[in-house]
Amino acid sequence: MVLSDRTIKEEIEKGRIVIRPFDPSCIQPASVDVHLHHQVRVFEGRSYTLPIDPRKAVDDRTQLREISEDRPFELQPEEFVLGSTLEYIALPPDIVGRLEGKSSLGRMGLLLHSTAGYVDPGWKGQLTLELSNVSKVGILLFYRMPIGQISFLKLTTAADRPYGTEGLGSKYLGQMGPTPSRYCHEFDRDLVATKGTAAVRRKRGGAADNATLREWLEQSRFGGSVRLFAEALGVSLKTAEDWFYRGARPEPGNRARIFDLTQLPQYEPPPLLLRDS
């Protein structure tokens, strides 16, 4: 059952569907408009000559580009980039989402996603967009432009294991900004069988911990701003972006600072680091 505009409003008012920032005027008859984030992730030039190995992380093959309302990004013909919704979205265990493009943009040749239009029950985070230009001319992408719409469907029952449940292998919970593929984690099972879970943690580089940190940031006084978080922590913006967007694992000293600020248990340092003698 697809939710109508009336039911969408009711679910948002109850806090069961979370959309931030939220503008009531963005509610359509059976969907809600979403907008483009201020960053896009672009594949580097060499990425078009070297094959992608799904077993390996692809973070280092992409670069983040900043865009604004007056400084757009030009998506070239046949070019593919990752974008993100400006909106943070959270769903309860009995509702799924469907993300679709805007018809008007589709008529210009802009495709919103290749395969990732499904939003699991239990999802929390911004939605990564798989943007492609199938026209013969460039298309300008502006920060905050309406980029798509999300509709909601009610499940027959609440999911027994919503997205993010331990053991489910949810790789993108709490993602913020355009997030590269983590398909390489599908091969972790083989690594566990041969070398144990510690090897998997080293291979992931802290991505699982950082997903929780992204969720904390969205709920914090910083309102999801990586820049404000970096300033409060006393680290460079690039360092913080490495944690949030590239799965980098903070150094021990920074883990202690993160713990002092967030009290997230996974960042609690050894006792010696808690006492600076």
Instruction: Give the model confidence (pLDDT) of 138-174 as tens digits.
Output: 999 999 999 999 999 999 999 999 998 877 878 888 8
List, for residues 172-186, the tens digit of each pLDDT value: 888 888 988 888 767
Query: Any idea what DSSP says for residue 123?
Result: -
Helix H or strand E encompassing 63: strand 62-66
* 224: number of Cβ within 10 Å: 20
Residue 228's φ and ψ, nearest 5 degrees, are -65, -35
Q: What are phi and psi for residue 258, nearest 5 degrees?
A: -60, -40
What is the arithmetic mean of pLDDT over 210-216? 74
Enumerate the domain spans of the chain. 5-154, 205-274
Active-site residue, selected from the candidate residues 10, 11, 66, 130: 130
Return the CATH class of domain 5-154: mainly beta
Angstrom CA distances, 21 to 24, 35, 144, stand at: 10, 10, 11
Look up 130 and say whether it is catalytic. Answer: yes
**pLDDT of 152:** 98
Average pLDDT value for the chain: 84
Q: How many helices (H) and strands (E) would you count in the chain?
A: 9, 13
Q: What are 211's strand-pairing partners?
A: none
How would residue 211 be classed by pLDDT, with cut points 50, 70 and 90?
low
Mean pLDDT over residues 193-200, rounded? 48
Beta bridge partners, 111, equal: 132
Average pLDDT over every residue of 195-200: 48
How far is Cα 169 from Cα 185, in angstroms, rounded to an integer? 8
